[in-house]
């Protein structure tokens, strides 16, 4: 697996419907498919965009404090996962 599916260009950001994704609020979880990944323009993080099984569209951040791994995970969202993979994500804000 590689970083090949990560959006890295302005054109790539324009072509993906990223505007329909929002950060989840509160505390909860969802099951969904990783649709897109892109590097944040100004911060050392990877933006991860999920289409949930119940039709919602969420984005979560994976910070570079441990190789773009979400808290409590051994998987690097930059190197170990691919777009189209399925996830159960828990979040708190």
Q: What pLDDT sits at residue 66?
A: 62
Residue 56 is part of which domain span? 6-87
Query: What are the backbone angles phi and psi of residue 11, rounded to the nearest 5°?
Result: -60, -40
**Residue 21 has which token pair?**
């994704």
Please check the confidence at residue 55 and state whether its pLDDT lies above 60: yes
Mean pLDDT is lowest, of 25-29, 72-76, 85-89, for 72-76
Query: Is 24 contained in some domain?
Result: yes
In a domain? residue 75: yes
Of 81, 72, 78, the closest CA to residue 40 belongs to 78
Percent of the chain with pLDDT over 70: 92
Please check whether residue 31 lies inside any domain of the structure: yes
What span, in angstroms and rounded, lies between the C-alpha atoms of 33 and 12? 19
Q: Give a yes or no: residue 1 inside a domain.
A: no
Q: pLDDT-based confidence at 21, cuts 50/70/90?
A: very high
Q: Which of 1, 6, 54 lies closest to 30, judged by CA?
A: 54
Given this model, what pLDDT does residue 27 score? 93
Please provide the average confidence, as pLDDT, over all residues in the chain.
88
- For residue 34, the model assigns a pLDDT of 96
Say if 93 falls within a structural domain.
Answer: no
Q: What total number of domains does the chain contain?
A: 1
The answer as to whether 92 is a domain residue is: no
CATH number of the domain residue 24 falls in: 2.40.50
pLDDT greater than 70 at residue 92: yes
């Amino acid at each position: 697996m590689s970083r090949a599916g990560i959006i890295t260009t302005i054109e790539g950001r324009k072509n993906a419907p990223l505007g329909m994704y929002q950060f989840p609020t509160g505390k909860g979880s969802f099951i969904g498919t990783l649709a897109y990944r892109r590097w944040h323009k100004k911060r050392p993080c990877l933006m991860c965009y999920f289409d949930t099984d119940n039709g919602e569209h969420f984005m979560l951040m994976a910070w570079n404090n441990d190789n773009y791994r979400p808290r409590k995970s051994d998987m690097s969202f930059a190197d170990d996962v691919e777009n189209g993979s399925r996830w159960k994500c828990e979040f708190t804000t």
